[in-house]
Chain A
Amino acid sequence: MTDIWEGLVQAVLLIITLDADLLEISARSLYVTVTATLIAAAIGLPLGGWLAVYRFRARRGVIAVLNALMGLPPVVVGLIVYLLLSRSGPLGVLGLLFTPTAMIIAQVIILTPLIASIAHQALRELWAEYHDLLISLNTTRRQRIVTLLWDARRALLTAALAGFGRGIGEVGAIMIVGGNIDQATRVLTTAIALETGKGNFALALGLGFVLIAIAIGVNLAIHFASRTEVSSRW
């Protein structure tokens, strides 16, 4: 209990004093996760719409695989991305290992199935509602997907936020591909892991509280900016 209290005090102090390290680590955490979430959403949302609208032989199998990939172990993703980006790997020539870009790549792989799967669930229900109307209006398949994405945008925002939530708290993959290098690839989660390893529990908890505050803050900001609750009664 004392550690938790001390952690809370430490977190307040770090924030009040605008600790330079904290600001840098927090900014990098946000940069990596927001970028990864945007890329994963750009891939996952249309993929969810495509799976909702198109009928093809392997569709159920693809959906089952996508759902299974939601539980993809981040450490395994990190290992695979590490092997791909390492000097001897097929993409080693790009020199991306131990950079924020490598961390973004790993997070995109983790977040895309999650966002696509949640989006598919929401769009499948809306497609069932719109199916006859959109066929009757002689729309193309592309128009159907665009219409579903637009009309379900609030539900899809929730999918993107779920992706952000998973990304901001992720440690296994980015630790492996980022290397937790000070001033280069250290983010809040890897810093927490480092401080815990050093037995510096108060600072680790302080960083943890900052991480929670950022996650909640981003969610609330988007929630209010998009007026999710106010306009939810469609």
Chain B
Amino acid sequence: MVKAQHLPNQTPSILPLKLQGACVKRRGHTLIGPVDLTLGRDGFTIILGPNGAGKTTLLRLMHGLERPSAGRLDWNVPEVQARAHQAYVFQHPTLMRRTVVDNVAYPLVIHGAPRALARARATEALAQVGLSEHVTQRASALSGGERQKLALARALIRRPEILFLDEPCASLDGAATRDIEAILNRAHANGTRIVMITHDLGQARRLARDVLFIYKGRLHEAAPADTFFDGPATAEAQAFLNGDILL
């Protein structure tokens, strides 16, 4: 298959991602950090923690939407190159004021794909997430679950090496959550490294290969999923798993 110019070059890998003493501060207040962490080439990482713990800030920091106030964040390649191989799905998907297919085709178009080719690929991507019937609709006409599927199709269309997701299933019903999880498992099976925030412990157990537990802006625990769920190392993580209220 001929390599398309609008798709990022796959070699060398942008991973691992290393955070060393990374902090995010705002107006003198530390939101997260210092965080030391390495994300390897393969994995399905779930980030857990109570509200306000700093999960979203950590995810945004890794993706480059936040700058480290202190410490380092290093990809395996220069940052400019690494950015082209990442994608991010927001908790509340941002829908562009376009049709469904043009929303999904957008990342290809801005990276140089001819519009017709981009639309053809976007139509295929929409079929894979079950939105074939909505291709020519306005994106704003979609339901909550469909919007999140659109956001996923848009994020995956350039075959990112790593995909960040901020509670993609929050406020979705069971059927939509199952569909989203199936899409994520398929993307992971196709080689996409996934890092995802969720509040749903059941979902975390279903999807996680490894877990990061964040509390009060600090990384309290980074462990394989089985180890974490069977016997967390910290009292805070145990309390969180027990459903206790962490203040």
Contact = CB atoms under 8 A, between A and B. Distances in A.
Interface stretch (A38-46, A106-114, A133-141): A133-141
B66 to A, nearest CB: 10
A207 B240 CA distance: 77
B206 interface: no
Given A233-B140, A234-B138, A132 B107 contact: no
Interface string B92-122: 0010111000000011001000000000000
Contact of A133 (B83, B94, B98): B94
Nearest to A135: B65
A151 B98 contact: yes
B63 interface: yes
B110 A130 contact: no
A24 to B, nearest CB: 42
A157 B120 CA distance: 30
Contacts of A151: 96-98
B84 A138 contact: yes
Nearest to B89: A136
A137 B106 contact: yes
Contacts of B83: 138
B98 A136 contact: no
Interface residues of B, number: 19
Contacts of B86: 136
Contacts of A143: 110
B75 interface: no
A136 B88 contact: yes
A136 B138 contact: no
B58 interface: no
Contacts of A132: 65, 88, 90, 94
Interface string B68-89: 0000000000000001101110
Contacts of B106: 137, 147
Interface in B125-152: 138-140
A67 B201 CA distance: 52
Contact of B96 (A130, A136, A231, A233): A130
B161 to A, nearest CB: 13
A129 interface: yes
A233 B138 contact: yes
B9 to A, nearest CB: 14
Contacts of B139: 234
Contacts of B140: 233-234
A150 to B, nearest CB: 8
A139 B97 CA distance: 17
B155 to A, nearest CB: 9
A145 B203 CA distance: 39
Nearest to B84: A138
Nearest to A231: B138
A136 B65 contact: yes
Nearest to B151: A133
A168 B220 CA distance: 67
A136 B65 CA distance: 7
A133 B90 contact: yes
B38 to A, nearest CB: 22
Contacts of A231: 138
Interface string A48-85: 00000000000000000000000000000000000000
A231 B98 CA distance: 11
Nearest to B141: A233
Contacts of B64: 135
Interface in A92-134: 126, 129-130, 132-133
Nearest to B60: A132
A142 to B, nearest CB: 10
A139 B94 contact: no
Contacts of B84: 138
29 contacts: A130-B94, A130-B96, A132-B65, A132-B88, A132-B90, A133-B94, A133-B96, A135-B64, A135-B65, A136-B63, A136-B86, A136-B87, A137-B106, A137-B107, A137-B110, A138-B83, A138-B84, A147-B96, A147-B106, A147-B110, A151-B96, A151-B97, A151-B98, A152-B97, A231-B138, A233-B138, A233-B140, A234-B138, A234-B140
Interface of B: 63-65, 83-84, 86-88, 90, 94, 96-98, 106-107, 110, 138-140
Given A126-B97, A133-B90, A151-B98, 12 more contacts: A129-B94, A130-B94, A130-B96, A132-B90, A135-B64, A135-B65, A137-B106, A138-B83, A151-B97, A231-B138, A233-B140, A234-B139
